[in-house]
Amino acid sequence: MGLRHKRSHTRCRRCGSISFNFKRKVCVKCGFGSTPKMRSHKWMRKAGY
């Protein structure tokens, strides 16, 4: 107990959301760190992301 209080994500420089994994150096929302293009999928348009 008491070991699950560590943070794994911080604020992304490109999209501004708290989705940048600073251990893997990649943002899970916009794809910053792995691709120069913005991360987007067709299901995101339907779901309203």
Residues 6+ positions from 6 with CB-CB distance below 8 Å: none
What pLDDT does 34 receive?
93
Which domain range does residue 18 map to? 7-49
pTM: 0.77
- Does 17 reside within a domain? yes
What pLDDT does 1 receive?
64
- Does 1 reside within a domain? no
- Does 11 reside within a domain? yes
Tell me the CATH number at 27.
2.20.25.30
* Cα–Cα distance measured from residue 5 to residue 46, given in angstroms and rounded to the nearest whole number: 34
Q: How many domains does the chain have?
A: 1
10-46: pLDDT as tens digits:
999 999 999 999 999 999 999 999 999 999 888 888 8
- Does 12 reside within a domain? yes
Given a contact cutoff of 8 angstroms between Cβ atoms, the answer to whether 14 and 27 are in contact is: yes
- Does 48 reside within a domain? yes
